[in-house]
Amino acid sequence: MFSTRKSLIAALALSFTVLASSSLALAQDKTPTPEERAYKFRTSLFQTFGFKFGRLIAAKAQDDAAMFTKQASDLQFLTTMIEEGFEIENSLPEGTEAKPNIWEDFDEFKAKSDTLRTAVAGLTEEGAMASFDPRDFGSKNCGGCHREFRINKE
């Protein structure tokens, strides 16, 4: 009885192993590589930046200070994640607009992220909406990094 159970368990364990490895082989065709996942993450993050930036501009147009502060705080939280999308050195899968110099001068890349973080933190302060100029803000704090570290495909 005991040995039958034991061999049953062994047989079950074996079939699970076979199943697991065959489904892994199947999944490997579709599963994105770590580089592709990082690329997806950071482009989604940047698209969310774009969306939130649009909401910030809309809040100012509607003179809605509470909404402005809410959008600025969301953006502030999102900007803590920039470097996470670039942790894998030279993660440059097909389609990326990231330049290789990001990893050659990561300190500078980090400095550009800090510039944006500081500027966005400023937007969460009371009364910041009044002096917010979208063009100026975007050119300095988003464009400042793009000009150096993003391929301009236009």
Interaction site with ligand HEC (CB under 6 A): 39, 42-43, 46-47, 49-50, 53, 82, 96-98, 109, 112-113, 116, 141-142, 145-146, 149-150
Residue burial 34-63, b: 16+ Cβ < 10 Å; e: rest: ebeebbeebeeebeebeebbebbbebbeee
CB 60 within 8 A of CB 132: yes
Residue 29 or 76 having the CB closest to ligand HEC: 76
Residue 13 or 151 having the CB closest to ligand HEC: 151
Residue 64 or 103 having the CB closest to ligand HEC: 103
* Closest separation in Å from C-beta 81 to ligand HEC: 11
* Closest separation in Å from C-beta 11 to ligand HEC: 48
* Closest separation in Å from C-beta 108 to ligand HEC: 9
Question: What single-letter amino acid sits at 109?
Answer: F
Distances (CA, A) of 55 to 49, 69, 78, 100: 10, 11, 14, 31
Alpha helices in the chain (DSSP H): 2-30, 34-61, 65-78, 101-104, 106-123, 128-131, 134-137, 143-149
* Closest separation in Å from C-beta 131 to ligand HEC: 17
